[in-house]
Structure 1
């Protein structure tokens, strides 16, 4: 999980304390963060691909990454104290 934690902390550094708390206490948040990292990694890979359908995958993964990012940020804002 440390790779996921580092990835999310790097993206949302202003929410460090709440991220660390949420990662420790909420399995749904941990899963959402793991999904976000996995989708971001896949996006980066497809962006480097020269295969004919790479553009389709890039578009789909960008959409997924943006959706997960919004969900994570919404969760962080909801739990930021």
Structure 2
């Protein structure tokens, strides 16, 4: 299972950006996500055995409060696949 966060750490265009600006894999943390599909995981794993979920928040806020509960539900679903 892949669980994607909808929001980047720099969710709004006016949010401050790091300097120097990161490249490569670090960019996925900053920008809002619009693609909730395999994002190239299908190159390594059988897509027919995968599920994809997405949730509000970013990769840090997903660990707290109601978002953590939602994440936990997705993780339980993934374990029971």
- Relative to the length of structure 1, the TM-score reads 0.30
Q: Which has the higher contact order (CA 8 A, sep 6+)?
A: 2
Higher strand share: 2
